[in-house]
Amino acid sequence: MKVFLRSAAAALVFIALLVYVFTAERGRVPEKEEIFGLDVADAINLEIVGGDSEVLLEKREGTWYVNKPFKGLANETSAEERVRAIAELKPVGKRKDADLDSDDFGLNKPRVTAVLRYGQGNEVKVSIGKDLPVGAETYARIEGREELYIIPSSVLTTLKKTAEDLREKKLVQVKDDDVRSLKLSHDGTEVKVENRREADEDKWFITAPITARADEFQVEQAVSKVTELKAEAFVQEVGEASKYGLDKPSLRVELVDKDGKKSGISIGAECKEPMETSETDLVFARADGRDEVMILKMDAVEELRKKPLDLRDKSLVEVSKDEINYVRVQSKKRLSFALKRLPDGWHLDRPVKARAKPAKVDDILWDIVQLEARDYIEEKPDDLKQYGLAIPDTIIEVHTLGSDEVLKIKIGYAHGEDAHYCQTSESDEVYAVSDMVLLDLPTKVEEIQSSS
């Protein structure tokens, strides 16, 4: 009995090891109904012939490509759907001693023949004939076997899909979160942003043509627009690059992912031929490493013609309202005053000591923390007098909890109809900011002193 148990246990271990080895080598355990039990990952080539059409799929370096009836990148999902139809084929029945050459089965002139190649020189061949009189099933022959097989009609439907369905319409194959740099080149301008780790967070920075913090939202939107670019159509007979304006692109897009892999897109000339599927203007495009010339919607492309200002972080102050505990304003034309945060709320500290109006204080604080550049005037000015910043009309000093550093906001001459020149103690750069930062400041003490 003990010998039997030991033998049974050894057999179970052996079977388990076989399953493990099979799974490790082939990636999965085939279901018992499968006739081939192949792993899609092992497939290297699929040829589908049906009627006057022929489709040839080939895998190169782990990526599926279409070699017939055109040459181009295949959509991975669409390619593997076809491969899986053969690799994991599950007949619903089979008959022995059937005359496979009988016209009743349609296997002498099959509607589709598929040859799947895998491993080192191995292949399986499936021919699909007529449908059964009833049910969603069809007859099939497997080369090297004498049985007549009955398979689901869905296999035929999958294999007969057009070659155009196989095209990869997305221009770049990278996830948004994996992008580490983006470069946009157009109209003599090159804007580059890079993602770097700062204080345990991923942050975007402009690295060309200037060095500055980038607007996180704007950069992420631009990255998404690139990764979501899809072809509306493909040029069927590709000519010289100059024919499509791709020899001198009007826009060049380059991405680098977390693994250092580069992806690029060139945008060419406007496509003058209208398409029934699109009512918008179109442009030619090509992705690096791909032979196809694509046709894209122009409006999707135009959104990528970014300038440094479009992607730059316009915030001039990095402080929250809750951190501010003291504000001092010195002004030539408006009221000079100081505000202090106390346990019971905000109080005037100058020119009088009194409670301050909460709504008015709130407006001032919001103007400070939301101060943004409308425009970037000069990065390293030699003469601040021309901006009225050598001796500013207004200086706002901001004190924060837990810090000895004082943030200074200097407001100078008017810039246009509704903006002023501005400079902060955080940078030498001169900006243009909205008038609101001045207009919300009181002109007399009654406007900010509480009556209660």
Q: Percentage of residues in the chain with pLDDT exceeding 90?
A: 83
pLDDT over 70 (residue 21): no
Nearest alpha carbon to residue 418 among 369, 448, 381, 375: 375
Please compute the mean of the pLDDT values over residues 52-74 and round it to a whole number.
Answer: 93
Residue 415 lies in a domain: yes
Our CA dihedral for 84, 89, 90, 96, rounded to 10 degrees, sits at 180
pLDDT attached to residue 8: 47
Provide the pLDDT confidence category of residue 57 given band limits of 50, 70 and 90.
very high
Q: How many residues does the chain have?
A: 452
Provide the pLDDT confidence category of residue 279 given band limits of 50, 70 and 90.
low
Q: Which one is predicted more confidently, 156 or 120?
A: 156
Say whether both 259 and 341 belong to one domain. Answer: no
pLDDT over 90 (residue 42): yes
Residue 246 φ then ψ, to 5°: -90, -10
Instruction: Measure the CA–CA gap between 361 and 348, rounded to whole angstroms.
Output: 10
Residue 202 lies in a domain: yes
pLDDT attached to residue 11: 44
The domain boundary residue, chosen from 105, 136, 166 = 166
Say whether both 18 and 39 belong to one domain. Answer: no
pLDDT digits 0-9 by tens, 303-343:
999 999 899 999 999 899 999 999 999 999 899 999 999 99
Q: Tell me if 421 sits within 8 A of 411, measured CB to CB.
A: yes
pLDDT over 50 (residue 12): no
Say whether both 231 and 190 belong to one domain. Answer: yes
- The pTM of this model reads 0.77
pLDDT over 90 (residue 444): yes
Q: Tell me if 411 sits within 8 A of 318, measured CB to CB.
A: no
User: Burial letters for 427-446: b for 16+ Cβ neighbours within 10 Å, e otherwise?
Assistant: eebbbbbbeebbebbbeeee
pLDDT over 50 (residue 4): no
- Tokens 């400070």 correspond to 368
- Tokens 């942003």 correspond to 193
Residue 158 lies in a domain: yes
Say whether both 210 and 126 belong to one domain. Answer: no
What is the domain extent for residue 107? 31-166
- Residue 99 sits in a domain whose CATH number is 2.60.40
The domain boundary residue, chosen from 253, 280, 311 = 311
pLDDT over 80 (residue 109): yes
Please compute the mean of the pLDDT values over residues 228-249 and round it to a whole number.
Answer: 93
pLDDT over 90 (residue 58): yes
Say whether both 306 and 379 belong to one domain. Answer: no
Say whether both 50 and 132 belong to one domain. Answer: yes
Nearest alpha carbon to residue 164 among 83, 72, 84, 87: 72
Provide the pLDDT confidence category of residue 13 given band limits of 50, 70 and 90.
very low
Say whether both 24 and 35 belong to one domain. Answer: no
Say whether both 339 and 430 belong to one domain. Answer: yes
Provide the pLDDT confidence category of residue 120 given band limits of 50, 70 and 90.
confident
Instruction: Give strand pairing partners of 208.
Output: 192
The domain boundary residue, chosen from 166, 197, 213 = 166
pLDDT attached to residue 278: 59
Lowest-confidence range among 264-278, 339-353, 423-437?
Answer: 264-278
Residue 262 lies in a domain: yes
Say whether both 300 and 330 belong to one domain. Answer: no
Q: Percentage of residues in the chain with pLDDT exceeding 70?
A: 92
pLDDT attached to residue 52: 72
DSSP 87: H
Residue 74 lies in a domain: yes
pLDDT over 60 (residue 32): yes
Nearest alpha carbon to residue 116 among 78, 88, 75: 88
pLDDT attached to residue 18: 42
Residue 452 lies in a domain: no
Please compute the mean of the pLDDT values over residues 404-431 and round it to a whole number.
Answer: 95
Q: CB neighbours (10 Å) of residue 299?
A: 11
pLDDT attached to residue 135: 84
pLDDT over 80 (residue 26): no
Residue 182 lies in a domain: yes
Provide the pLDDT confidence category of residue 275 given band limits of 50, 70 and 90.
low
What's the token pair of residue 372? 């943004």
Say whether both 141 and 241 belong to one domain. Answer: no
- Counted domains in the chain: 4
Residue 304 lies in a domain: yes
Q: Is the dihedral of CA 28, 32, 36, 40 positive or negative?
A: negative
pLDDT attached to residue 274: 67
Say whether both 55 and 143 belong to one domain. Answer: yes
Say whether both 375 and 428 belong to one domain. Answer: yes
